[in-house]
Amino acid sequence: MEANSDYQVVLDSFRGPLDLLLYLVKRDEVDILDIPIAKVADQFKQYLDILSLIDVERAGDFLVMAATLMEIKSRMLLPRAEKEQQPEEDPRRELVRQLLQYKRFKEAAAVLEQRAQEQSQRLPRLPVAGSAGSPSGPPALKPVELWDLVSAFARLLRETLMHQPQTIVVDHTPLQVHIDFVLERLRAQGVCTLKELFVPPHTRSRLVGLFLAILELTKTQQIVPQQTGDYGDITIRLAEPACESDSSTLAA
């Protein structure tokens, strides 16, 4: 069994357990007012296993939510006594209320962010958009959410470590070293899949270090992760420098 690495740090990217819960509800296209607790609880646990490798301090909040989901699940499974005539209150009610409230705040924040971006684009002249691709071209890419990256990393971790010997490895490589490696690889190749960035040696601590580097670069908008669809391969490219767009607005 491997020793814990120094990569268990606090990341602002993980907004909290309600953010993950809302992502699961939206991804599976379920009714937010009728959440399938058993299914969501199992999925939540899978993300918690990965999060505990990355962000131990913040994992406590997710453990509380996992315990809440398990409590609601058990209350829904327990048989009711025949003498109880009055209908019991839905144990999901409080959780749904919190989730709806969080959803409203998140949507309001997204609207404000969009308006801020529109305001920032009023003065500079934007470059002319290219022609739309033909239907027979490559599949359209969509922006990647944080939890899409976590899910892809979980699958990659299972595939990579499945046949690896369980040895004790202590890795003190600074995070900046992994960040530099990711940037150099992208500068050389242009576009890489997430899997292509996780090169040997495939120790758990090194995989976590590379994943944290990708999260940090995504957070600082130095790279752009994209995905062809749900559960599709995630590709990563360098973000376009701001100076290029600025210079294009001054041309002609």
Running DSSP on this structure, what letter comes out for residue 109? H
What pLDDT score does 127 carry? Answer: 60
Question: Residue 147: which of 60, 6, 22 has the closest Cα?
Answer: 22
Q: How far is CA 85 from the centre of its chain?
A: 45
Q: Of the ranges 62-71, 81-90, 114-123, 186-195, which is most confident?
A: 186-195
Once rounded to an integer, what is the mean pLDDT over residues 110-117? 79
What pLDDT score does 238 carry? Answer: 93
Q: What average pLDDT is seen over the chain? A: 75
Q: Each residue of 57-91: pLDDT tens digit?
A: 666 778 888 888 888 888 877 776 655 556 667 88
pLDDT above 70: residue 155: yes
* % of the chain exceeding 70 in pLDDT: 68
Predicted confidence band at 141 (pLDDT cuts at 50, 70, 90)?
Answer: low
pLDDT above 90: residue 31: no
What pLDDT score does 177 carry? Answer: 92
Once rounded to an integer, what is the mean pLDDT over residues 209-225? 89
What pLDDT score does 115 carry? Answer: 80
Q: pTM for the complete prediction?
A: 0.56
Would you say 50 and 150 are in contact if contact means Cβ atoms under 8 Å apart?
Answer: yes
Looking at the domain 138-252, which fold is it?
Arc Repressor Mutant, subunit A (1.10.10)
Would you say 191 and 236 are in contact if contact means Cβ atoms under 8 Å apart?
Answer: yes
Would you list the domain boundaries of the chain?
1-78+91-122, 138-252
Would you say 223 and 238 are in contact if contact means Cβ atoms under 8 Å apart?
Answer: yes
Would you say 65 and 44 are in contact if contact means Cβ atoms under 8 Å apart?
Answer: yes
Question: Residue 154: which of 236, 235, 52 has the closest Cα?
Answer: 52
Between residues 189 and 250, the one the model is more confident about: 189
Question: Residue 207: which of 160, 163, 168 has the closest Cα?
Answer: 160
What pLDDT score does 134 carry? Answer: 47
What pLDDT score does 222 carry? Answer: 92
pLDDT above 70: residue 118: yes
Q: How many helices (H) and strands (E) does the chain have?
A: 9, 4
Predicted confidence band at 106 (pLDDT cuts at 50, 70, 90)?
Answer: confident
Would you say 64 and 17 are in contact if contact means Cβ atoms under 8 Å apart?
Answer: yes
Would you say 170 and 205 are in contact if contact means Cβ atoms under 8 Å apart?
Answer: yes
